[in-house]
Structure 1
Amino acid sequence: MTDGTPREAPAAKARGKYAPVRLPESEILRRGLDTFAELGYAATTMRELARRLGVSHNFIHERYGSKDDFWRAVVDFGLQDGQPALDRLLADCHDAEERLRAVIVHLYRLAANDSAMNRLLTDESTRDSSRLDYLHQQFIKPFWDSIEPTVSSLMAAGRIPRVPAHILYFAVTGPALALAQDPIADRLSPDVRPTAQHDRTAMADALSAVVLHGLLPPHA
């Protein structure tokens, strides 16, 4: 996920005999992200990627090396600004409660406004794979390490329950992942559908308010 500011990736050099494609690198990776998010890794074939990119079926192999290498390039593109933006946000907060509130609001807004990356993360988090290892080492662990001192401080103060790390991780990130579930949201609230056309930031803020009321209830 990014901080919402478009960022042009440098053009990749074509390898072998194939000439560069007329798409900017960021568009190639964005279309790849949309495809992996929609179909899942296993069902995303090289032929389907080529069709959606409008290129030769050898293009991915020639430019990126393999489907797995392309998937990693797509993930790096989608999440490239996430941790730096979070680090800047944490640095601007003054206490643990403010930091946790800011993190949850920030995370939910990113999730609501980048449904493709949200869906990819949701799908890969259910599968024990080398792709999940990559996501964990490159993005999930750095994210959690950056907020762990905040969480520990709030546990020590009795503001949030003492539970294993994975339980608290689910409590914080689970609702964010659910923001990609527009089809069920439309069925649960048919009077306000289609969800995808709503103000996604407002929806994220409404959800973060509910979650924060449970995690950090007002002081007595």
Structure 2
Amino acid sequence: MGQAKSRGPYAKTAARQAEILRAARDSFAERGYAAASLRDIAERAGITHAGLLHHFRNKEELLAAVLAQRDAEEWQEGRTEVDRQAESLGRYLVNVLLRHQKSPELMRLWLELTAASSRPDHPAHDYFVDRYERSRVHLTHATQEQSVRGELREGLSPKQAAVLLQAVLNGLQMQWLLDPRIDLADAVNAFLELIHAPGDR
């Protein structure tokens, strides 16, 4: 019985934090990280400024939580959809970009933060360093078996393919924001063709 009681406050806390994260994501997307305020986020979440600080100590901590949530959603999708076959990896990457296209302001915020966090003193610096490392590990694993089967272009290692994929995905999103006529799906699929062994096409 005591255990059942303990779930109540925890469930309420988790639900409240989820509301705050949704509000923060919307505020960051609309106003940009620098202009977004904790008071605006609290108002969007339907709580007081003090109530928000009970869950997140400052805007930097809230930013880290928003980024972590976004990544967790995509990592989970990746584990579910990618079976290390080229076709599945391609479908997953295309689906990620198409989903990002539906929220261009979030895409813009993500790219702005990526660039800004290259400064060691930026509050999200450590997060992005770790995030890119984890992404390289996942993408390397996704292409490892292709390499073993001889399906990766000769002379290209899985780790190199992972770094190139990261560069292509980021670069394509930037280009699309500048020119929405660019076909992201077509570009991703064309790049995947380039890194595959000729006999595997």
Under TM normalisation by the shorter chain, which class is it? 0.5 to 0.7
Structure 1 segments unaligned to the other structure (5+ residues): 1-8, 14-22, 190-202
**Segment of structure 1 superposing worse, 108-117 or 147-156:** 147-156
Aligned mates of 2:56, 2:113 — CA distance in 1 = 21
Q: Give deviations 1:20-66, integer Å, cap 9, x for gaps.
A: xxx85433211211112233322222233334344433232223222
Query: What is the alpha-carbon root mean square deviation over aligned residues?
Result: 3.6
Aligned mates of 1:10, 1:75 — CA distance in 2 = 22
**More RCO (CA 8 Å, sep 6+):** 1
> Does residue 110 in structure 1 map to residue 87 in structure 2?
no
Q: What residue identity is the alignment partner of 1:134?
A: Y
Query: TM-score if structure 1 supplies the norm length?
Result: 0.62
> Does residue 171 in structure 1 map to residue 164 in structure 2?
no
% of aligned pairs identical? 18
Which residue of 1 is the match for residue 188 of structure 2? 211
Which residue of 1 is the match for residue 6 of structure 2? none
Which residue of 1 is the match for residue 42 of structure 2? 50
Shift of 1:214: 3.9
Q: Give deviations 1:120-177, integer Å, cap 9, x for gaps.
A: 321111012241321342x433232111144465698427967686444211332245
Aligned mates of 2:102, 2:154 — CA distance in 1 = 30
Superposed counterparts of 1:5-154, under 5 Å: 10-12=11-13, 24-91=16-83, 93=84, 95=85, 97-127=86-116, 128=118, 129-137=122-130, 139-151=131-143, 153=146
Residues 97 and 173 of structure 2 are in contact (CA less than 8 Å); yes or no, is this contact kept in structure 1? yes
Count of aligned residue pairs for this structure pair: 179
Which residue of 2 is the match for residue 158 of structure 1? 153
- Structure 1 or 2: larger helix share? 2
